[in-house]
Amino acid sequence: MSDLKQKSILVTGGTGSFGKAFSQHALADLDPRRLIIYSRDELKQWELRQQLGDDARVRFFIGDVRDEKRLERAFDGVDVVVHAAAMKQIVTAEYNPSECIQTNVMGAQNVIDAAISSGVKKVIALSTDKASSPINLYGASKLVSDKLFVAANHYAAHSKTRFAVVRYGNVVGSRGSVIPLFRQLAETGVLPITDKRMTRFWITLQQAVEFVCDKLATMHGGELFVPKIPSMRITDLAAALAPDAVLEETGIRPGEKLHEEMISEDDARRGIDTGDSYVILPVHADWGAELPSGQPLPDGFTYRSDTNSEWLSPDDLRQLIEDL
């Protein structure tokens, strides 16, 4: 973390679930010289300002990742960028595909171009398990974004700007999480379950923030970092929140997977195990990258929520939710 001390840090999508948690963590533990919250919603910025209090290190910047000129202005003097802005709702993306592409793909390229132009040292972009073998537009757009950020190291080879990606699964307590819905419906005695076989990766907001900060401090550029996190069964989550409720199967929704995946068999051929995480190495690294070393992943390896070696029980989930 010392690599981030007294640095000027900017987070796009800074008023989202991750952005707010990251900001609180950065101010408390990273000792930044300046923290810039970049987002397009003035009300959410005002609400976050009330939460963070009167901290002279914090700056609020209204802007959209679709606006490269605005990004260049915001990135002026910035050392580190955490790119968390994205259009994330699967159904919304399916109904508004061009809008999803403008934010998740063109916005990613704008962040890359602005970072290189402004001399930002490090950029780390947040990805999702839905970007591995994607079946919906949101996942496909994030896969494109991942590839843009890794390849950006080629464009920045003449400079000190380096790019990396962090990919993780469902976040406990994030905006749109199933937990508030299940708690609300628990009072009715019936919980709608798309498919009782469904499994998901699970990570807390704090764990996600700490993982991103750790990889920011150690990244060299071109890495796609995947944390080792537990899986949970949707039926176990239901049992943790409403043990007496009746489960009503409604069927998998369009664009939804039965099980999630963070590393496909094809990506695993370029993957290594570094102990606390997996790293997918770039196809080409001609910019002279000093990439991490680790144990190569075995042939046929995949990292899927249904074949994971670590699982959360209903008691684990209940304790985790209570801790939140």
Q: What residue segments make up the domains of the chain, in order of their start? A: 2-169+203-228+262-302
pLDDT tens-place string over residues 19-30: 999 999 999 999
Closest C-alpha among 279, 281, 293 to residue 228: 279
Residue 1 has pLDDT above 60, yes or no: no
Q: State how far the Cα of 314 lies from the Cα of 153, in Å rounded to an integer.
A: 43
pLDDT-based confidence at 292, cuts 50/70/90?
confident
Q: What is the pLDDT of residue 284?
A: 84
Q: What is the pLDDT of residue 176?
A: 60
Yes or no: say if 235 and 271 are a contact pair by the CB < 8 Å rule: no
Q: State how far the Cα of 131 lies from the Cα of 250, in Å rounded to an integer.
A: 25
Report DSSP letters for 66-121, one per residue.
Answer: T-HHHHHHHHTT-SEEEE------HHHHHH-HHHHHIIIIIHHHHHHHHHHHHT-S
| Residue in the block written with tokens 């990570």 | 203
Q: Which residues contact 152 (CB under 8 A, 6 or more apart)?
A: 112, 116, 123, 163
Residue 196 is among the residues annotated as catalytic for this protein: no
Longest CA–CA separation in the chain, Å: 61
Q: State how far the Cα of 165 lies from the Cα of 149, in Å rounded to an integer.
A: 7
pTM beyond 0.85, yes or no: yes
pLDDT tens-place string over residues 68-87: 999 999 999 999 999 999 99
Yes or no: say if 191 and 245 are a contact pair by the CB < 8 Å rule: yes
Which class is domain 2-169+203-228+262-302? Answer: alpha beta
Q: What is the mean pLDDT of residues 101-118?
A: 98
Between 178 and 16, the higher pLDDT residue: 16
Yes or no: say if 186 and 245 are a contact pair by the CB < 8 Å rule: yes
Angle 8-23-166 (CA atoms, 0-180°, nearest 5)? 85
Please report, for residues 37, 85, 128, 155, 215, the alpha-carbon distance to residue 113 in angstroms, rounded to integers and kept in the order given. Answer: 19, 16, 22, 9, 22
pLDDT tens-place string over residues 50-63: 999 989 999 999 99
Q: What is the pLDDT of residue 3?
A: 77
For residue 161, the tally of other CB atoms under 10 A from its CB is 22
Residue 153 has pLDDT above 90, yes or no: yes
Q: What is the pLDDT of residue 2?
A: 58
Q: State how far the Cα of 229 lies from the Cα of 202, in Å rounded to an integer.
A: 7
Amino acid sitting at position 257: K
Choice among 130, 142, 215, 257 that is catalytic:
130
Tell me the two tokens of residue 182. 């299940």
Q: What is the mean pLDDT of residues 5-10?
A: 96
Q: What is the mean pLDDT of residues 151-167?
A: 95
Residue 189 has pLDDT above 70, yes or no: yes
DSSP conformation class of 186: H
Residue 297 has pLDDT above 60, yes or no: yes
DSSP conformation class of 2: G
Closest C-alpha among 146, 143, 137 to residue 111: 146
pLDDT-based confidence at 318, cuts 50/70/90?
confident
pLDDT-based confidence at 319, cuts 50/70/90?
confident
Mean pLDDT of the chain: 93
Buried b (16+ CB within 10 A) or exposed e, 196-215: eebbbbbbbbbebbbbbbbb
Instruction: Give the dihedral sign, CA 4/122/176/231.
Output: negative
pLDDT tens-place string over residues 263-285: 999 999 999 999 999 999 998 88
pLDDT tens-place string over residues 229-262: 999 999 998 988 888 889 999 998 888 899 999 9
Q: State how far the Cα of 151 lies from the Cα of 192, in Å rounded to an integer.
A: 42
Residue 180 has pLDDT above 90, yes or no: no
- Please give the helix or strand (H or E) that residue 123 lies within, else none: strand 122-126
Q: State how far the Cα of 116 lies from the Cα of 6, in Å rounded to an integer.
A: 21
